Structure 1
Amino acid sequence: MRDLLEHLRGHGDRVAVLTDTQQMSYGGLADRVSEAADRLGDTRRLVMLETRNDIPTLVHYLAALASGHVVLPVPAGRDHSELLATYDPDVVIDAAGMCHRRPGSAHTLHENLTLLLSTSGSTGSPKSVRLSRRNLLSNATAIADYLDIRENDRAATTLPMSYCYGLSVIHSHLLRGAALILSEDSVVDDEFWTLFRHHGGTTFAGVPYTFDLLDRVGFDTMDLPDLRYLTQAGGRLAPERVRRYAELGAARGWQLFVMYGATEATARMAYLPPELAAEHPGCIGRPIPGGSFTIEPLDGWPADDTAGELVYRGPNVMMGYAHGSADLARGDEVDALHTGDIARRRPDGLYEVIGRSSRFVKMYGLRIDLQRVETALRDRGVTALCTDLDERLVVAATAPRDRDEVARLAADTAGIPSTAVHAVVVSELPVLPTGKPDYPAVRALVDALDDTALDDTAPQASDLATVVADVLHIDRNQVDPDASFIDLGGNSLTYVAMSVRLERALGRLPADWQRLPLRELQRRAVPRRRWTATLETSVALRAIAIVLIVGSHATLFEMWGGAHVLLGIAGYNFGRFCLTPAPRGHRVRHLRTTIAWIAIPSIVWVAVALVMTDDYHLSNLLLANKILGPHDSMTAGRLWFVEVLVWILVALAALCLLPAADRAERRWPFAFAATFLAVGLALRYDVLGLNLGREAWFTMLAFWFFAAGWAAAKATTAWQRVAVTVALVVGLYGYFGNTHRELLVLTGFVLLIWLPAIRCPAGLTVAAGVVAEASLYTYLTHFQVYALFEGHPALGAAGSIVVGVLLTQAVTLVRRRMRERRPTLSAPAVPARR
């Protein structure tokens, strides 16, 4: 493939690669590839490449191909000791750099061998697929042809580069001079969609699990003006979902390509034309250009049935398998790929897979189709994987199903005694890194259950559901394990308690935990050290800010600025919890709930204080003292922070109701927030000449602090974070007329922008979480509490914190008791899965 460099240079200044921080032309990519190829040397060798969806991986991969080396891609972050021992690569390229293990090669490499890929069902296994230059080029050409890939297409990398499907996206787009949007983010991440929109993404690829995640993030409501088509492979997508996505695409102006393939065929063997997807969603379609299918008799299958084993022939069929380094010298050994799938050719020429020969088991004289058992269970509301082990039907189902119920349903479906079924209930069905079912892992789960029973101490998704129900004050049966914290109604006020509880249950949480389904959250959680824990910076700042507010008001010390930091945190959480990819109506309902959580307790406390003290006026009941007055009262303005926050949220809820504003925010989330920050700063500098002076500190004109936090939440690149930081420095300079106050507020914002989490002792994490969770009730009540300790500011401040915490816990307890007394047959908290 030494002509690869010429191909890259042939596209000159066209954009080849885009990331969140870089843009590289084909010419620039060719230069980088050439430099890396020089470092690899001319002696043909076996190169193990640890892959990530980033520029260094792409450069090293192309450099190895351009120099004629044989590449063995492996996923990053996994144990590759078995592959290293089996194949003994000459060069290893990982995050640490390029390691030449020897000057030459220890192997005899066949002249046609170009790529070794792990078989889809055995990632990490020594068994690999041997692919040639002809395999790669023919398949890339066929894919580019039927997808009609164009030079102005931009494909996002949603799959690992070590997976044949992920590599096929790279091959086919580089072949046509199109651009790649490299990203390690998941489709559940706002950062992915920000990058996709910013670079005008036209396509991305997905396995069935990807489409599960798309359902969770409200993909059907997203504004993606440049999207041309989606591709789906890597496993069967249920026909009803194929039809739904095909119809959605037709309505929104993009197409769905359902594809069928295998690593042994380099990637693709068939595709379903988009115009046929809605009408024939159960078909795999037609052979790719240059390929062909035959239906061949299958042992044990009725001779009079038109179905048989699907066999594929084409230039993309592998050279053969490799089980060790000695196999790397072997040439072409396969001319027809026996897929193991049972299929029919319909009269209209479309092919339809109806089962898999290897997924049939014989029990009690019956031939049982495991795929059909899974489908039947799914139709009865049970998501499960089925396999066999020691003459038993093994079923792994997701919680909260009961094991006995799962076994009974599976036995009824298969027509065998329930004693022949061994069921296990898990929080999440095991999948390979490619998103495909991991059936060996299902067998291992059952083995573990037989030998030691499941570890009851391990947190399950069902356990997480109990925690979520407790924090959100909803019934346990309302919690869908496939819903996220935000889906279930979580907001910035319940977020603190939830993060602390989950940290204790799961260990260190991923940064985007609030948007992840409970199953995904459990899978991505990282165990923590016993004595330390991760504390989100926003939670720590919330705790510190309320302590500074209380201490300053109680005259224990004088460190002003905590309320303005809290206003920024409110904006930060607004960007994270309210402006999610969810539909517009869901956003507004979420905002309405958040406003109620703040306004109702505030109004209740003002009503109590009006009876007991002379601190407030009737205008405070409306949270409108700053609007209605009186403006000359020393006490009526104490709740300015709550009033400002509530009315900001009310205004933004009204804004979110406007379809045009909703679309603009989804398409340009950072720019949208930055615009409001710019407007806020214009008011801060009084460009309209209103001469508001220092009154702006404690009025709606302090909105720019909220907007700064909002922009910080939507800042996904370094330059965006720098821009928000600079805006804060400029806006704060001279704002209070007190350098110490300005530095305190700036420090809080800088930590919020640049340091998402901190490590600290586990006990401190819990304490900070408790204080932060109680910040609203502490703020509301502390004016009346510290006054009871006149002359003892330390006791007044401590008493205020304690009262706030106790009141928060009391309210939580009351809500929990009310929930327990409600009828259990209540409506689901989230829409049912489709």
Structure 2
Amino acid sequence: METHVGPFWSALERYGDMPALTGEGVTLSYAALAHAADDWAARARTCLPRAVTRPLVALELGRSLPAITAYLGCLRAGWPVILLAEGEARPDHAIRATYAPNLIVTGPMAHPAAGDPGPAAFCDDLAVLLSTSGTTGASKLVKLSGANLQANAASIIEYLGIRPDDRTITTLPLHYSYGMSVLHTHLSVGARLAVTEAPLTDPSFWALARAQSITSLALVPTQFDLLEKVGLDTATLPHLRTITQAGGRLDPATAQRFARRAQAEGWQLFLMYGQTEAAPRMAYLPPALALSHSDTIGKPIPGGRLWIMGEDGQEITTPGQPGELLYQGPNVMIGYALARADLATARKTDILHTGDVAQRTPEGLFQIVGRRSRFVKLNGLRIGLDEVEATLRREGHRLRVAGDDRGLVLFTETDTGTLARDTAARYGLLRDMVRAQHLPAPPLLPSGKVDYAELHRRADRILSTDPEPEPAPTSPTAAGDLIATLQGILALPDIDPARSFRDLGGGSLAYLEVELHLMKTRGTVPEGWDRLPLRDLARPPAADRPADRLADRLRWQTIGSDVVIRVIAIFWVILLHTTDLVTGGGVFALTILMGYSLARHQVHALTEGRVLRTLDAMLRPLLLAYFTILALLALRVEVDWQWIALVANLPAAFGPAPPASLLEPYWFVAAYAQSILLICLAFTLSPVRRWVAASAFRAGSLVTAALTAVIAVAPFGDLDAAMIRLPLGMIQLAALGWCAAFADTRARKLIVIALATASCLVDWHESGLSVQEAILIPTILLVVIPRLRLPGLLARAFLELGKLSLYIYLLHVPAIYIDYHFVQTTTGLFLSTAVVSTVGAIIARSLLRRLDRRVAPVLQRWLSGTQGARPSHAPEERLPDDA
């Protein structure tokens, strides 16, 4: 293969049809990737202001094929690009406000949009800008040239021995320097990168890694702990050749355990050191020394130089004598930027003052022994002590912050309370990494300034002792209790407390159960709780307040209007089946809620192609209960095969119906299952996934409008009234509910209401007023008042009934059969059926949950081996700015 001179991104085509990126069910060759990158840049040019020819780009570089394509498009076009995390390109973010980028690229589909119209001046080789802050998103940026990136990639390729047949996987966010360098090195040699947002704790990550025959993993220290839990061995990844570590100091004992494992299993462990300012690698420890010298950073990378400088400015060569660590090499940045004007200049020196205090070992290796500045590196994250202090003081805390790479100590003038726990959660740290110490007044220097040296000495003494154990929780709000509850609800064997309920992909009934659990244990449910990390949900709003006292039960609570709609619709169905009242429409409301639930809880799984997981979440509880009840009913009544095959709804619309039976209300189960299956089948198509990911609301609106038109013109004749029994009619209403879930602006709310009105006037006008009301009222309620404020007892009652709703619906059928023989009036039949089915639901739920715990793990093990992606909004592993 011919040798190419220049940055790797300028000649991706030289690897032709060799696979470059794999993800989202798509594999891009190098030639296709180059074409896609150029095509993206050409489309992005149409968004630029007329006066701008070389734009400054702000790119949210997520782990998706479109985002990587956009990044390479910027590099190939010669456009300086600021790499940002998801959400950091918003208008009020400090980086966007400071640098006024000309082009804004956001979302997993990397859609470009016009930014500031004013042109900017850049130094010729400016390529990438990375934030120096790992905590607050401050506007100070590192300026890296194309030569910096290419030089560091070449050095890493040389000492790691990366080859064209290597295959790696995205274990790290790509907008951080470590993750970025993994992308660069593998694309430089024609290797393959599997793209996924799944964390190490997700079985789908390992399924994808095995399917792609991964040869290398790039990890930060906290991921090694997770890796030990996963139990990596050669059977897990038989092609594994290297594991690389950066992003902070790896505990020497952990490093030695993995070094021994590497020797036994036939792969190599590379411990590395770097900073964003060096693009980012500066040193590495050869694998042969990983067991004996795991407390060092090793030696400089090829083409680089490390040395130690004393306070007198002279180099220190004596082993064991500490000084500041300096680095020199072609990968050293071309400067910092604090404002847009700084992008036009480039510093000439290639020497970097690392800010770390180091010493040489007798073997000539370098060993970090401390830091000069007020920065610490915890959990793979560079944290500025001054930033933490300023943030907490802005919130009213009178405190000072000290610490080192073992943890933070918050010296507070007030009661410590939950300050340490809250701060650990804020910065994504382990609980014992943050201590709070009461200090009435900080020590002062003669000048009147705070004596931080004394605070650091005190912090050292505190961090050198084991943390005092926290008192046992007096209420069931501890993380363990919440996670145990979730494990029971979702039937998951292991749950990461850093993930949210939405990340776990629970269904609507699980959502209600968790919300009820939170209401009981916390006394209140925070807005948007399903998007919060579970460890945050486990913290009570007030540590000294019993969560279950009478005041909590009487306090007004806010619950989703979908809960109220669900409960009313279920009993509306029972009213229809037990009385002569014209109350049709309950199933219409339930169908709208089906789409609403898909949008709220499954959209990310669907757009990632994880359709089997969606089928599991949406159908497993329903079908397990349905077939169990059907089996029991078969002991007393005849059950036609169509009920077992879940097709009894179709003959009712198209031809001979099954024999008259009390099972008639179960047509809804068949239609529901068919509709979910068809929707999931649509998401097996990558164009559908990309379309919905680009705008879930627009896609839902177009589907609703299209199905409304199809139903209106299709020659169904007398079947119009039975259209809800067909997947066509059910999917139309489900699409309406889907749109309602994304109606977050006034314009979208009006569109959804207009779609609901149109469907009533065009398709459901012959079904009666009660049906039209069952479509319009729930839809309007979902978009106009998505959350209802109710008295506490009433809110809990709705939640309790909501989590039982599935079982109530299924059991009201045998309840009617039983009650019909004992109750003479329709009113009495309705009341007795409602009571019997509700009591039966409580018992059935308990029994079926036990059965589900046996069934679910088998299904989930199968699912984890068939699909290798996860929802895109799951939380990222947090990484440092200096990897």
Worse-superposed segment, 800-809 or 153-162: 800-809
8 A Cα contact 2:142 2:335, kept in partner: yes
- Distance (Å, rounded) in 1 between the aligned partners of 2:189 and 2:482: 50
The amino acid across from 1:34 in the alignment is D
Closer/same/farther in 2, CA of residues 122 and 720 from structure 1, 3 Å limit: closer
Instruction: Identify the match of residue 13 of structure 2 among 9, 12, 16.
Output: 9
Secondary structure in 1 aligned to 2:512? helix
The amino acid across from 1:77 in the alignment is G
8 A Cα contact 1:461 1:522, kept in partner: no
Secondary structure in 2 aligned to 1:425? helix
8 A Cα contact 1:342 1:355, kept in partner: yes
Residues 686-711 of structure 1 deviation map (CA, whole Å, 9 limit, x = unaligned)? xxxxxxx999999xxx9999998998
Q: What value does the CA root-mean-square deviation take over the aligned residues?
A: 6.9
* Identity %, equivalent residues: 30
Report whether the alignment pairs 1:292 with 2:258. no
Match of 2:37 in 1: 33
The amino acid across from 2:335 in the alignment is G
Match of 2:120 in 1: 106
- Distance (Å, rounded) in 2 between the aligned partners of 1:10 and 1:324: 38
Worse-superposed segment, 712-721 or 328-337: 712-721
The amino acid across from 2:300 in the alignment is P
- Distance (Å, rounded) in 2 between the aligned partners of 1:231 and 1:390: 30
The amino acid across from 1:60 in the alignment is A
Identify unmatched segments of 5+ residues in structure 1: 361-369, 376-382, 397-402, 448-459, 524-529, 580-590, 604-619, 645-679, 686-692, 724-737, 814-834
8 A Cα contact 2:811 2:841, kept in partner: no
The amino acid across from 1:508 in the alignment is G
- Distance (Å, rounded) in 1 between the aligned partners of 2:526 and 2:126: 45
8 A Cα contact 1:48 1:91, kept in partner: yes
Q: How far 1:755 moved relative to its partner?
A: 7.2
Closer/same/farther in 2, CA of residues 437 and 534 from structure 1, 3 Å limit: same
Match of 2:801 in 1: 771
Match of 1:518 in 2: 535
Q: How far 1:76 moved relative to its partner?
A: 3.6
Match of 2:703 in 1: none
Closer/same/farther in 2, CA of residues 493 and 102 from structure 1, 3 Å limit: closer
Match of 1:744 in 2: 725
Instruction: Identify the match of residue 335 of structure 2 among 316, 320, 332.
Output: 320
- Distance (Å, rounded) in 1 between the aligned partners of 2:508 and 2:101: 50
Q: How far 1:204 moved relative to its partner?
A: 4.7
Residues 87-137 of structure 1 deviation map (CA, whole Å, 9 limit, x = unaligned)? 34454445652427457x432x33343322211446532322122222111
- Distance (Å, rounded) in 1 between the aligned partners of 2:273 and 2:236: 28
Closer/same/farther in 2, CA of residues 422 and 522 from structure 1, 3 Å limit: closer
Q: TM-score with structure 1 length normalisation?
A: 0.58
Closer/same/farther in 2, CA of residues 719 and 788 from structure 1, 3 Å limit: same
Match of 2:513 in 1: 497
Match of 2:528 in 1: 508
Closer/same/farther in 2, CA of residues 799 and 218 from structure 1, 3 Å limit: farther
Match of 1:58 in 2: 68
Residue correspondence of structure 1 range 22-171 to structure 2 within 5 A: 22-38=26-42, 39=45, 45-53=54-62, 54-78=64-88, 79=90, 81-94=93-106, 97-99=112-114, 101-102=116-117, 105-107=119-121, 109-121=122-134, 124-171=137-184
Residue correspondence of structure 1 range 502-651 to structure 2 within 5 A: 505-510=525-530, 517-519=534-536, 548=573, 552=577
Secondary structure in 1 aligned to 2:34? helix
8 A Cα contact 2:13 2:30, kept in partner: yes
The amino acid across from 2:180 in the alignment is L
Q: How far 1:276 moved relative to its partner?
A: 4.8
- Distance (Å, rounded) in 2 between the aligned partners of 1:748 and 1:251: 57
Secondary structure in 2 aligned to 1:231? strand
8 A Cα contact 1:47 1:69, kept in partner: yes
Match of 1:352 in 2: 367
- Distance (Å, rounded) in 1 between the aligned partners of 2:262 and 2:676: 32
- Distance (Å, rounded) in 1 between the aligned partners of 2:165 and 2:309: 42
8 A Cα contact 1:187 1:214, kept in partner: yes
8 A Cα contact 1:428 1:461, kept in partner: no
- Distance (Å, rounded) in 1 between the aligned partners of 2:231 and 2:827: 50
Closer/same/farther in 2, CA of residues 47 and 494 from structure 1, 3 Å limit: closer
The amino acid across from 1:285 in the alignment is G
8 A Cα contact 1:51 1:161, kept in partner: no
- Distance (Å, rounded) in 1 between the aligned partners of 2:387 and 2:103: 42
Match of 1:331 in 2: 346
Q: How far 1:143 moved relative to its partner?
A: 1.9
Match of 2:553 in 1: none
8 A Cα contact 1:291 1:312, kept in partner: yes
Closer/same/farther in 2, CA of residues 482 and 171 from structure 1, 3 Å limit: closer
- Distance (Å, rounded) in 1 between the aligned partners of 2:538 and 2:424: 13
Q: How far 1:173 moved relative to its partner?
A: 1.5
Instruction: Identify the match of residue 719 of structure 1 among 665, 685, 688.
Output: 685
Closer/same/farther in 2, CA of residues 799 and 217 from structure 1, 3 Å limit: farther
- Distance (Å, rounded) in 1 between the aligned partners of 2:75 and 2:264: 41
Closer/same/farther in 2, CA of residues 536 and 225 from structure 1, 3 Å limit: farther
Q: How far 1:461 moved relative to its partner?
A: 11
- Distance (Å, rounded) in 1 between the aligned partners of 2:833 and 2:201: 40
Q: TM-score with structure 2 length normalisation?
A: 0.56
Secondary structure in 2 aligned to 1:124? coil
Closer/same/farther in 2, CA of residues 519 and 422 from structure 1, 3 Å limit: closer
Report whether the alignment pairs 1:174 with 2:204. no
Closer/same/farther in 2, CA of residues 797 and 134 from structure 1, 3 Å limit: same
Residues 5-62 of structure 1 deviation map (CA, whole Å, 9 limit, x = unaligned)? 6511111122223331533222222223334455379987351222232344333332
Residue correspondence of structure 1 range 384-395 to structure 2 within 5 A: none
Return the structure number with greater relative CO, CA threshold 8 A, min gap 6: 2
Report whether the alignment pairs 1:309 with 2:290. no
The amino acid across from 2:59 in the alignment is E
The amino acid across from 2:154 in the alignment is T
The amino acid across from 2:420 in the alignment is V
8 A Cα contact 1:52 1:184, kept in partner: no
Closer/same/farther in 2, CA of residues 330 and 145 from structure 1, 3 Å limit: same
- Distance (Å, rounded) in 1 between the aligned partners of 2:487 and 2:671: 28
Closer/same/farther in 2, CA of residues 743 and 36 from structure 1, 3 Å limit: closer
8 A Cα contact 1:265 1:318, kept in partner: yes
Instruction: Identify the match of residue 342 of structure 1 among 352, 357, 371.
Output: 357
Residues 439-485 of structure 1 deviation map (CA, whole Å, 9 limit, x = unaligned)? xx999x999xxxxxxxxxxxx995776766789999xxx99966988
- Distance (Å, rounded) in 2 between the aligned partners of 1:744 and 1:16: 47
Match of 1:790 in 2: 823
Q: How far 1:315 moved relative to its partner?
A: 1.7
- Distance (Å, rounded) in 2 between the aligned partners of 1:285 and 1:520: 42
- Distance (Å, rounded) in 2 between the aligned partners of 1:219 and 1:540: 47
Q: How far 1:356 moved relative to its partner?
A: 2.3
Match of 2:218 in 1: 205
- Distance (Å, rounded) in 2 between the aligned partners of 1:391 and 1:36: 39
Closer/same/farther in 2, CA of residues 153 and 417 from structure 1, 3 Å limit: closer
Residues 55-88 of structure 1 deviation map (CA, whole Å, 9 limit, x = unaligned)? 4433333233223333222334124554345434
Secondary structure in 2 aligned to 1:318? coil
- Distance (Å, rounded) in 1 between the aligned partners of 2:60 and 2:414: 43
The amino acid across from 1:719 in the alignment is L
Secondary structure in 1 aligned to 2:514? helix
Q: How far 1:267 moved relative to its partner?
A: 1.2
